[in-house]
Amino acid sequence: MVALESARVLLSGSSGLLGTALSASLKTRGFDVTRLVRGRVSSEDQIYWDPMRPPNPDSLSGFDAIIHLAGETVVGRWTAAKKAKIRDSRVTSTRNLVQALTTIPNRPRVFITASAIGYYGDRADEPLNEMSSSGAGFLADVCREWEAAAKPAAAAGIRVVQLRTGVVLSREGGALRKMLLPFRMGVGGKVGSGRQWMSWIHIQDWVGAVQHILKNDLLQGPVNMVAPKPVTNAEFTKTLASVLRRPAIFPVPAFAAKLAFGEMAEDVLLASQRVEPARLVTSGYPFQYSELEKALVAVLKA
């Protein structure tokens, strides 16, 4: 267990949507948070690193936990260069961090690294939990490599957790923020058939689940960071439109999504992933938001 009072946490990706929310919450709960940054170091709570090179092992020493969230956004057309950035920013950076931290005598008790439910690929209506096999596609390939890059840390005796995150609901960024403008204008709608499953989580639950993982030594390996009740894309868009009191009558045909985003549309927008948070539930994490409507209301009124 990582104690809440004065525990030292090293965090990468601290400027992103999840890192910003997590860092702020950890600090309010008594954690001492140091951030890995790629730019100029401007304060004592920052350490410079180049994700494409192993960091100085001494810079990783003395932390109770290392949380690695950095990664190139998957949004955008997946050119060869874009796909290389997506993979390297996750796989290579994780490998470099692990290579360094396994050489130090004063190792962290836990290494938590981001992953994604893209690990499962497009699985139609199949219920998926942490024991389910990996799927096919670019994101599934990246997630397998990403998670494998952390395994040497486990072999060195460090508790390793991979956060398989779904669609995070937040006004500050992510998929929901991109959806709000068209839906508020009354031109939102389902994507493709709308039958594909969306596994979502309120950002407060995501942050709460990470803190739960920090405190629970029994949690290791992949953990699905999703709410207990996934919905179809059609249900998601209908609920969002209802909360915003707008119609949702302008669907985006599958061919149009593919035309606009290419391979990303197939792996992200049209893929179906009905994911269950089995390990969070069995370990006793108390979800604040299990129902989509309540989660959306809370996000949009925040």
What are phi and psi for residue 72, nearest 5 degrees? -60, 135
The pTM for the full model equals: 0.95
Is the pLDDT score of 261 beyond 90? no
Please tell me the CATH code under which domain 8-170+199-227+274-288 is placed. 3.40.50.720
Amino acid 33: pLDDT: 97
Task: Say if residue 5's pLDDT is above 60.
Answer: no
Q: Say whether pLDDT at 119 is over 70.
A: yes
What pLDDT shows up at residue 248? 87
Q: Regarding predicted confidence, which is higher, 251 or 282? A: 282
- The secondary structure of the chain, three-state, reads CCCCCCCEEEEECCCCHHHHHHHHHHHHCCCEEEEEECCCCCCCCEEECCCCCCCCHHHHCCCCEEEECCCCCCCCCCCHHHHHHHHHHHHHHHHHHHHHHCCCCCCCCEEEEEEEHHHHCCCCCCEECCCCCCCCCHHHHHHHHHHHCCHHHHHCCCEEEEEEECEEECCCCHHHHHHHHHHHCCCCCCECCCCCEECEEEHHHHHHHHHHHHHCCCCCEEEEECCCCCEEHHHHHHHHHHHHCCCCCCCECHHHHHHHHCHHHHHHHCCCCEECCHHHHHCCCCCCCCCHHHHHHHHHHC
Task: State yes or no: pLDDT of 246 exceeds 60.
Answer: yes
| Domain ranges within the chain, ordered by starting residue | 8-170+199-227+274-288
Q: Dump pLDDT digits (tens) for 95-109.
A: 999 999 999 999 999
- Mean pLDDT score of the chain, rounded to an integer? 94
Q: Report the pLDDT value the prediction gives residue 259, as an integer from 0 to 100.
A: 87
Residue type, 63: F
Quick check: 4 pLDDT over 60?
A: no
In this predicted model, which residue has the larger pLDDT, 86 or 39?
Answer: 86
What pairs with residue 167 in β-bridges? Answer: 200
pLDDT given for residue 112 in this prediction = 98
Mean pLDDT of the 256-271 span: 91
Mean local confidence (pLDDT), 268-288: 97
Report pLDDT for 302: 65
